[in-house]
């Protein structure tokens, strides 16, 4: 059989671009700036906390379905202390196997076949697959680069067109799927943008699922605003977070969802039949991580901002147009100034041409023409790796 026996709902999906590009990096020995994972593990004391939990027999057998109480209360405290959002750790917090499972469980729980889901495009690849598995229809609203002034400097940032968002909502729309800070563009939605989204959700009685896994990775003083914290939104919003991004342990797959009791109960119902529970010992370690002092989060942010600038300067010197990200650990670029027209072909040839792997953004669009010349680079890597990548990319000019 040459084609796998996939059901119709998944027929348009193959291997994820991240797996494909990481395999290409492994095969060619190229520097992998494709899939977003740090090349340095998170804090040593948190690693040790996981080892301790394993040795002490905490979480080695099925932990409670909603997550261990220590982690649920740490998540609730985090949301309250940072954002003034109060959640009951027993009924309004759910621990999941990474944000990926939270997204899947939320969409499976909250949409009916035929419902429309409005999602920002370019979108993280699992959104399209999960909407499809739930039998929904995705309706993309495209973020576009826009000239703007921030902090006295001109930059081109991807922005949300609120008229387009409004026009995308129909009588069949069930929910808006948000992502801020946004992968792959690095845009951090502003309070004004989020207020407009909130007003629309209230006016049209929509649910919001918001993927905020990069909440701590914001730069240049940008503010991360959880939409759940805006008036009238707590009751209609499921907010998703992940230890993978905040603590640099992407392999542990610890994520969480917070929301009203009704919404979290719905998401938990779906989650029970996906994984039932998530890995126990890591939950205890992440409960400690969420209580690290502010200095941890400040250092993470400052380090990443420096890395953004290091890689951004390298990409500009190599001739790329760079869209300056205010958040995440990704930089989206345009390859048109290099005389290139097709990002997929460009990314497939890049390891051979200069020993670097990146992601073609076209895979994040319904209309591949929309992202035809955009390429995403991850900068969550050691400084010497970023310097070396920048040197290699400069060879493209010659
Ligand atoms: N979220 C990561 C990225 O955007 C990859 C995660 C994955 O491979 N599924 O690169």
- Residue written as tokens 């969420």? 290
Where, residue-wise, is CATH 3.40.640.10 in the chain? 44-289
276-332 pLDDT, tens digit each: 999 999 999 999 999 999 999 999 999 999 999 999 999 999 999 999 999 999 999
pLDDT band at 154 (very low <50, low <70, confident <90, very high): low
Per-residue pLDDT at 311 = 98
Pocket test for ligand 1, best of 36, 212, 359, 379 (most atoms within 8 A of CB): 36
Expressed in angstroms and rounded, the spacing between residue 55 Cα and the centre of ligand 1 is: 30
Ligand 1, atom 4: closest residue by C-alpha = 36
Expressed in angstroms and rounded, the spacing between residue 109 Cα and the centre of ligand 1 is: 23
pLDDT band at 181 (very low <50, low <70, confident <90, very high): very high
CA 275 to CA 121: how far, in whole Å? 28
CA 275 to CA 279: how far, in whole Å? 10
Per-residue pLDDT at 128 = 96
Ligand 1, atom 3: closest residue by C-alpha = 36
The 3-class secondary structure across 310-328, one letter per residue, is: HHHHHHHHCCCEEECCCEC
Pocket test for ligand 1, best of 13, 19, 37, 248 (most atoms within 8 A of CB): 37
CA 17 to CA 365: how far, in whole Å? 13
Question: Within its chain, how far is the Cα of 293 from the centroid?
Answer: 24
CB proximity list for 216: less than 8 A, separation 6 or greater: 224, 245, 246, 297, 300, 301
Expressed in angstroms and rounded, the spacing between residue 36 Cα and the centre of ligand 1 is: 5
10-61 pLDDT, tens digit each: 988 888 888 989 999 999 999 999 999 999 999 999 999 999 999 999 999 9
Per-residue pLDDT at 268 = 98
Expressed in angstroms and rounded, the spacing between residue 147 Cα and the centre of ligand 1 is: 28
Expressed in angstroms and rounded, the spacing between residue 182 Cα and the centre of ligand 1 is: 13
> What is the position in ligand 1's atom list of the atom closest to the CA of 213?
1
Per-residue pLDDT at 152 = 55
Percent of the chain predicted with pLDDT > 90? 90
Where, residue-wise, is CATH 3.90.1150.10 in the chain? 8-42+295-396
Percent of the chain predicted with pLDDT > 70? 97
Expressed in angstroms and rounded, the spacing between residue 241 Cα and the centre of ligand 1 is: 14
Expressed in angstroms and rounded, the spacing between residue 398 Cα and the centre of ligand 1 is: 31
Task: Let me know: does 328 contact 186? Beta carbons within 8 Å.
Answer: yes
> What is the position in ligand 1's atom list of the atom closest to the CA of 183?
4
Ligand 1, atom 1: closest residue by C-alpha = 36
317-332 pLDDT, tens digit each: 999 999 999 999 999 9
Ligand 1, atom 7: closest residue by C-alpha = 18
Q: What is the number of other CB atoms lying within 10 angstroms of the CB of residue 368?
A: 15
Handedness of CA 67, 103, 175, 177 (dihedral sign): positive
261-272 pLDDT, tens digit each: 999 999 999 999
Expressed in angstroms and rounded, the spacing between residue 122 Cα and the centre of ligand 1 is: 14
Q: To 10 degrees, the CA torsion angle through 255, 70, 94, 268?
A: 120
CATH classification (class only), 8-42+295-396? alpha beta
- Residue written as tokens 């040459």? 2
Per-residue pLDDT at 1 = 52
Residue among 179, 228, 176, 240 at smallest CA distance from 207: 176
CA 353 to CA 50: how far, in whole Å? 41
Give yes or no for residue 150 having a pLDDT over 70: no
> What is the position in ligand 1's atom list of the atom closest to the CA of 126?
9
Looking at the DSSP bridge assignments, the partners of residue 148 are 155
pTM: 0.96
Residue 313: C-alpha distances to residues 32, 84, 307, 336 (Å): 18, 37, 10, 17
Task: Let me know: does 336 contact 374? Beta carbons within 8 Å.
Answer: no
Per-residue pLDDT at 58 = 98
List, chain by chain if needed, residues with CB within 6 Å of any ligand 1 atom.
Answer: 16, 18, 35-36, 183
Per-residue pLDDT at 15 = 85
CATH classification (class only), 44-289? alpha beta
Give yes or no for residue 153 having a pLDDT over 70: no
Averaged pLDDT, 207-216: 98
Rg (CA), the chain: 20
Give yes or no for residue 147 having a pLDDT over 90: no
> What is the position in ligand 1's atom list of the atom closest to the CA of 378?
10
Per-residue pLDDT at 55 = 98
Residue-averaged pLDDT of the chain: 95
Cα angle for residues 23, 335, 30 (degrees, 5° grid): 25
Per-residue pLDDT at 151 = 56
Expressed in angstroms and rounded, the spacing between residue 298 Cα and the centre of ligand 1 is: 23
Give yes or no for residue 121 having a pLDDT over 60: yes
Expressed in angstroms and rounded, the spacing between residue 255 Cα and the centre of ligand 1 is: 14
pLDDT band at 335 (very low <50, low <70, confident <90, very high): very high
Averaged pLDDT, 230-241: 98
64-78 pLDDT, tens digit each: 999 999 999 999 999
Ligand 1, atom 8: closest residue by C-alpha = 18
> What is the position in ligand 1's atom list of the atom closest to the CA of 184?
4
- Residue written as tokens 């193959």? 14
Expressed in angstroms and rounded, the spacing between residue 364 Cα and the centre of ligand 1 is: 12
Expressed in angstroms and rounded, the spacing between residue 310 Cα and the centre of ligand 1 is: 22
Pocket test for ligand 1, best of 16, 18, 23 (most atoms within 8 A of CB): 18
């Amino acid at each position: 059989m040459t084609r796998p026996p996939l059901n119709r709902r998944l027929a348009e999906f193959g291997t994820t671009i991240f797996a494909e590009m990481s395999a290409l990096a492994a095969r060619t020995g190229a520097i992998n700036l494709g899939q977003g994972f740090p090349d340095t593990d998170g804090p040593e004391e948190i690693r040790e906390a996981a080892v301790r939990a394993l040795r002490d027999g905490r979480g080695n057998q099925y932990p409670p379905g909603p997550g261990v109480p220590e982690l649920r209360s740490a998540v609730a405290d985090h949301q309250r202390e940072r954002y003034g959002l109060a959640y009951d750790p027993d009924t309004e917090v759910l621990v999941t196997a990474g944000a990926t499972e939270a997204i899947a469980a939320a969409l499976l729980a909250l949409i009916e076949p035929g419902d429309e889901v409005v999602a920002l495009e370019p979108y993280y690849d699992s959104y399209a697959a999960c909407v499809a598995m739930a039998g929904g229809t995705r309706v993309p609203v495209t973020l576009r680069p826009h000239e703007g002034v921030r902090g006295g400097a001109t930059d081109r940032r991807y922005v949300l067109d609120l008229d387009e968002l409004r026009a995308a909502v129909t009588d069949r729309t069930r929910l808006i799927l948000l992502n801020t800070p946004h992968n792959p563009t690095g845009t951090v939605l502003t309070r004004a943008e989020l207020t407009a989204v909130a007003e629309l959700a209230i006016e049209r009685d929509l649910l919001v699922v918001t993927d905020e896994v990069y909440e701590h990775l914001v730069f240049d003083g940008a503010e991360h605003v959880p939409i759940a914290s805006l008036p009238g939104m707590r009751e209609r919003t499921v907010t998703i977070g992940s230890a993978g991004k905040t603590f640099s342990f992407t392999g542990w797959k610890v994520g969480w969802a917070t929301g009203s009791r009704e919404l979290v109960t719905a998401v938990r119902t779906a989650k029970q039949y996906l994984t039932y529970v998530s890995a126990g010992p890591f939950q205890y370690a992440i409960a400690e991580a969420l209580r690290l002092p502010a200095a941890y989060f400040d250092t993470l942010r400052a380090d990443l901002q420096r890395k953004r600038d290091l890689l951004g300067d390298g990409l500009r010197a190599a001739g790329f147009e760079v869209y300056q990200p205010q958040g995440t650990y990704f930089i989206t670029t345009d390859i048109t100034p290099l005389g290139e027209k097709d990002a997929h072909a460009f990314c497939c040839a890049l390891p051979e041409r200069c020993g670097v792997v990146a992601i073609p953004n076209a895979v994040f669009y319904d209309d591949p023409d929309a992202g035809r010349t955009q390429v995403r680079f991850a900068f969550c890597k050691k400084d010497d790796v970023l310097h070396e990548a920048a040197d290699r990319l400069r060879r493209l000019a010659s």
